[in-house]
């Protein structure tokens, strides 16, 4: 796990990632399992998800192993918009984690 920056030459920009999860590989580059963003005091919405989808597309276009199927993770201390919640419930590759999830105790 780590953080990262992905360049976007077409937009002449770079995109920072708060979370990058890698898998293990016997040889060659480690596959990307997930990319994500974390916001403590900001309600996350569709713009955050669209940004993650763009970054995943950039990584996929560069041939990064695992990028095409990488999960998109959103962590927020302030919550999520209804639109993002609806999208996450319909899309298997989107995972939302809020404070209730982080503080939940196992039984």
pLDDT in tens, 19-39: 999 999 888 889 999 999 999
Of 106, 102, 84, the C-alpha closest to 94 is 84
Instruction: Give the chain's count of helices (H) and strands (E).
Output: 3, 5
Q: Domains of the chain: which residue ranges?
A: 2-92+99-103
pTM of the model: 0.90
Q: What pLDDT, on the 0 to 100 scale, is given for residue 47?
A: 98
Phi, psi of 23 (to 5 degrees): -95, -175
């Amino acid at each position: 796990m780590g953080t990262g920056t992905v360049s976007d030459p077409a937009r002449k920009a770079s995109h920072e990632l708060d979370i990058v999860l890698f898998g293990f590989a016997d040889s060659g580059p480690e596959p990307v399992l997930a990319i994500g963003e974390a916001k403590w005091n900001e309600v996350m919405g569709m713009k955050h998800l669209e940004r993650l989808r763009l970054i995943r597309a950039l990584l996929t276009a560069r041939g990064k192993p695992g990028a095409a199927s990488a999960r998109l993770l959103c962590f927020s201390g302030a919550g999520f918009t209804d639109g993002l919640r609806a999208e996450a419930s319909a899309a298997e590759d989107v995972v939302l984690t809020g404070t209730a999830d982080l503080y939940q105790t196992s039984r």
